[in-house]
Chains A and B, each alone.
Chain A
Amino acid sequence: MEVDIQELKAGNEQAFRQLMSMHGKGIFNLCLGMIPNREDAEDITQDVFVEAYKHIGSFREGAHIKTWLFRIALNKCYDHIKYSKRQKRHGIMQSLFDKDDNPIELPSNFQHPGIAIENKEHAKALYGALATLPENQQTAFNLYEMQGMDYKQIAETMAVSVSAVESLLSRARAGLRKKLQAYYTSNASS
Chain B
Amino acid sequence: METNPNIEDQINRALKSVNNIEPVELPFGFSDRVINRLHTQQNNVRSIYTISPLLKVAAVFVLILINIFTLRLALSPQPTQSPAQFVTIRDFVNDYQINDTNDELLTVNTPAHE
Decide if B58 is an interface residue (CB 8 Å cutoff). no
User: Which A38-85 residues have a C-beta within 8 angstroms of B?
Assistant: 38, 42, 45-46, 49-50, 53
Residues A181 and B3 in contact, CB atoms below 8 Å apart: yes
Decide if A188 is an interface residue (CB 8 Å cutoff). yes
Decide if B26 is an interface residue (CB 8 Å cutoff). yes
Decide if B4 is an interface residue (CB 8 Å cutoff). yes
Given the known interface contacts A123-B18, A126-B18, A180-B14, the answer about A185 and B26 at a Cβ–Cβ threshold of 8 Å is no
Decide if B90 is an interface residue (CB 8 Å cutoff). no
DSSP class of A's interface residues: helix, strand, loop or mixed? helix
Decide if B82 is an interface residue (CB 8 Å cutoff). no
User: Which B1-55 residues have a C-beta within 8 angstroms of A?
Assistant: 3-4, 6-7, 10-11, 13-15, 17-27, 30-31, 33-35, 37-38, 41
A176 to chain B, nearest CB (A): 7
Residues A46 and B15 in contact, CB atoms below 8 Å apart: no
Q: Which residues of B contact A119 (CB under 8 A)?
A: 13, 17-18, 20
Nearest residue in A to B11 (C-beta to C-beta)?
Answer: A180
- In the docked arrangement, what's the CA distance between A13 and B23, Å? 26
- In the docked arrangement, what's the CA distance between A45 and B17, Å? 24
* Interface-central residue, B6, B15, B21, B26, by most chain A CB under 10 Å: B21
Given the known interface contacts A50-B41, A145-B18, the answer about A28 and B26 at a Cβ–Cβ threshold of 8 Å is yes
Decide if A35 is an interface residue (CB 8 Å cutoff). no
Residues A122 and B14 in contact, CB atoms below 8 Å apart: yes
Interface residues of B (CB under 8 A from A): 3-4, 6-7, 10-11, 13-15, 17-27, 30-31, 33-35, 37-38, 41
